[in-house]
Amino acid sequence: MDRAGSRQRACRHVATEVQQHHSAYPASPVRHQAGKALISFGKPGWQRRLEFAIRKWLFELTLPAKLDKAEDAWHAAQPTAPDPVIIEHPIEPGDSQLLGGAMEIKAPWKRD
């Protein structure tokens, strides 16, 4: 009887700790999304379920950083666009002399 009472107190203690969490902190691995306790310490296999809940919580916590790193690596692997070819022609005498010489900008890109 004494062990059962201490088990019930432990479950109640965990439930009150989960309810007191601040909203700025990530969700606790001890609670399920639907509000039911994911881990009950009296049932067999609770350690395995606790480890699974912690692994899931850590995975979801670190996923955005991993995605950002993979996206940056993908952008770094993409080929860079070649610079355009700029051709400046000499200034021709006459009325257009004030404007300067002609300029051409050509795109060196190749069609696939």
Residue 83 within any structural domain of the chain: no
Determine the average pLDDT of the residues in 56-68.
96
Q: What is the pLDDT of residue 80?
A: 83
Q: What is the pLDDT of residue 39?
A: 62
Residue 105 within any structural domain of the chain: no
Q: What is the pLDDT of residues 83-108, one digit of tens each?
A: 888 999 888 888 778 888 888 998 88
Element (H, E) at 15: helix 2-19
Residue 100 within any structural domain of the chain: no
Residue 106 within any structural domain of the chain: no
Residue 95 within any structural domain of the chain: no
Domain that holds residue 43: 2-77
Residue 19 within any structural domain of the chain: yes
Tokens of residue 10, six digits = 């432990």
Report how far apart, in Å, the C-alpha atoms of 111 and of each of 50, 68, 69, 108 are. 56, 31, 31, 10
Q: What is the pLDDT of residues 4-43, one digit of tens each?
A: 555 555 555 444 544 444 455 555 555 555 556 666 667 7
How many domains, the chain?
Answer: 1
Residue 24 within any structural domain of the chain: yes
Q: What is the pLDDT of residue 21?
A: 47
